[in-house]
Amino acid sequence: MRGARFYVVVFWLVWLAIAAAESQGRFGLVLAFCLGSFVLPIVCYLWCESDCAARAAEAPPGAIPMILVLLPIGWAYYLFKTRPPLKALLVVAGTVALATIVLVIVQLSLGSPGHVAT
User: pLDDT (tens digit, 9 = 90+) per residue, 15-47?
Assistant: 888 888 877 778 888 888 888 888 988 888 888
Cα dihedral across residues 81, 85, 91, 97: positive or negative: positive
Cα(first)–Cα(last) distance of the chain, in Å?
Answer: 44
Q: Are 22 and 28 in contact (CB under 8 A)?
A: yes
Angle between helices 2-21 and 40-55 (to 10 degrees): 160
For the whole model, what pTM was predicted? Answer: 0.74
Q: Is 85 exposed, middle or buried (0-12, 13-18, 19+ CB in 10 A)?
A: exposed
